[in-house]
Amino acid sequence: SKKTIGFIGLGNMGAHQASNLIKNGHKVIVYDTSSERMNLLLQKGAELASTPSEIAKRSEIIVTMLPASAHVKNVYLGQDGILSSVKPGTLLLDSSTIDPQTAREVADQAAKHQATLLDCPVSGGTGGAEAGTLTFMVGGKEKDFELAKPILSCMGKNIVHCGDVGTGQVAKVCNNLVLGISMVGVSEAMNLGVKLGMDPKKLAGIFNTSSARCWTSELYNPCPGVLENSPASRGYTGGFGSALMNKDLGLAVDSAKAIGENLYLGNVAHQFYTQMVNKGLGQKDFSAAYEFLQKTPSS
Ligand code: NAD
């Protein structure tokens, strides 16, 4: 049935997700700190709100898609935040990538207001967000997962119940640990191959029919011109920012430390993206790892 859904965080991902809820016939009320992003959604048929608290007053279900834990805490727990006026029975779906502890903490606070928060981080990139084919990794009670599923299905194709609250974030952090490492690997190999005289498209073609084949090489190749629709071919824009990847690897490093597990490549990859951010590439797509390597002279 058609619902009134609040949506907060209309960035590279959220704007597409909110549009897909509208396309599925839901009434969508949006909020973002950027008025430019709000106007974009107004044009797509959304209604506007001026605070997260107003969103809470007007919605049965709320989806949030924010950069990091601090923004999520602010939007839910802050002054004029969602929990300041959430209605009992509201379903809260946080699709941001944050640490599992914060997800559990905000869910506990929500429960005090008789609202239910599920962590629902996604994979699939901006392409998947636009096409409505995201994978959702969901943490929460089974019965709440069943309530969330029809809504998440408007934005994604694979909706997976991972376990209790927080386990969606565990799955996501581990996925991005692989992704962050594999992007550095493919970038390093593409850069080496090109510098040694190989045509980049040929080299990528070999990878994709050989054992180097992976998502990063096949669907998100970091070398400009290899794929027509990749962030690399549009100046590393409109994708997944290096600063966000750096944040996600930080989540993996911190989670590992907290339980005394070792990460090797994870630590190196984290340092790699930190350097990219320090060199001013934080807002560029994380596949700018290739550009970074290409332009960094060897020492
Ligand atoms: P983004 O930076 O493009 O968008 C974030 C949006 O949140 C911006 O529009 C910003 O104005 C808004 N915002 C920030 N603080 C706010 C506040 N207090 N109140 C309201 N709005 C606020 O980020 P994104 O690429 O859309 O990613 C969002 C989340 O999804 C991140 O956690 C990221 O790690 C994760 N993610 C991104 C991708 C991707 O490919 N971009 C893929 C999977 C997961």
- ipTM of the prediction: 0.99
Q: Which of 147, 163, 179 is the last residue of a domain?
A: 163
Catalytic residue among 141, 172, 195, 257: 172
Q: Are residues 198 and 153 in the same domain?
A: no
Q: Are residues 34 and 149 in the same domain?
A: yes
State yes or no: is 172 an active-site residue. yes
Q: Are residues 132 and 176 in the same domain?
A: no
Answer whether 21's CB lies under 8 Å from 5's CB. Answer: yes
- Give which of 238, 292, 51, 256 is closest to 173, Cα–Cα: 256
Q: Which of 116, 142, 163 is the last residue of a domain?
A: 163
Q: How far is CA 229 from CA 188, 220, 246, in A?
A: 21, 9, 23
Answer whether 65's CB lies under 8 Å from 11's CB. Answer: yes
**CATH no. for residue 216?**
1.10.1040.10
Amino acid 64: pLDDT: 98
Q: Which residues line ligand 1 (CB under 6 A)?
A: 8-14, 31-34, 37, 65-68, 71, 74-75, 96-97, 122-123, 125-126, 239-240, 244, 248
Q: Are residues 21 and 127 in the same domain?
A: yes
Q: Which of 138, 163, 188 is the last residue of a domain?
A: 163
Tokens of 101: 């502890």
Backbone angles phi, psi at 241, to 5 degrees: -60, 145
Q: Tell me the C-alpha distance between 186 and 251, whole Å.
A: 22
Amino acid 296: pLDDT: 82
* Helix, strand counts (H, E) of the chain: 13, 9
Please tell me the pTM assigned to this model. 0.91
In the chain, the number of structural domains is: 2
- Give which of 66, 63, 80, 23 is closest to 46, Cα–Cα: 23
pLDDT digits (tens), the chain, 299 positions:
899 999 999 999 999 999 999 999 999 999 999 999 999 999 999 999 999 999 999 999 999 999 999 999 999 999 999 999 999 999 999 999 999 999 999 999 999 999 999 999 999 989 999 999 999 999 999 999 999 999 999 999 999 999 999 999 999 999 999 999 999 999 999 999 999 999 999 999 999 999 999 999 999 999 999 999 999 999 999 899 999 999 999 999 999 998 999 999 999 999 999 999 999 999 999 999 999 999 987 76
Return the amino acid letter for 286. F
Best residue for ligand 1 mutational test, from 17, 240, 273, 285 (most atoms within 8 Å of Cβ): 240
Q: Are residues 127 and 267 in the same domain?
A: no
Query: How many residues are listed for the chain in this entry?
Result: 299
- In terms of residue numbers, what domain contains 118? 4-163
Protein residue with least CA distance to atom 4, ligand 1: 11
- Give which of 2, 1, 47 is closest to 28, Cα–Cα: 47
How far, in Å, is the centroid of ligand 1 from the Cα of 244?
A: 9
Q: Are residues 100 and 181 in the same domain?
A: no
Q: Are residues 143 and 241 in the same domain?
A: no
State the closest ligand 1 atom to the C-alpha of 95, by its place in the atom list counted from 1: 30
Best residue for ligand 1 mutational test, from 7, 8, 10, 13 (most atoms within 8 Å of Cβ): 13
Amino acid 294: pLDDT: 94
Q: Are residues 138 and 210 in the same domain?
A: no
Do β-strands 122-123 and 116-119 pair in parallel, antiparallel, or remain unpaired?
A: unpaired
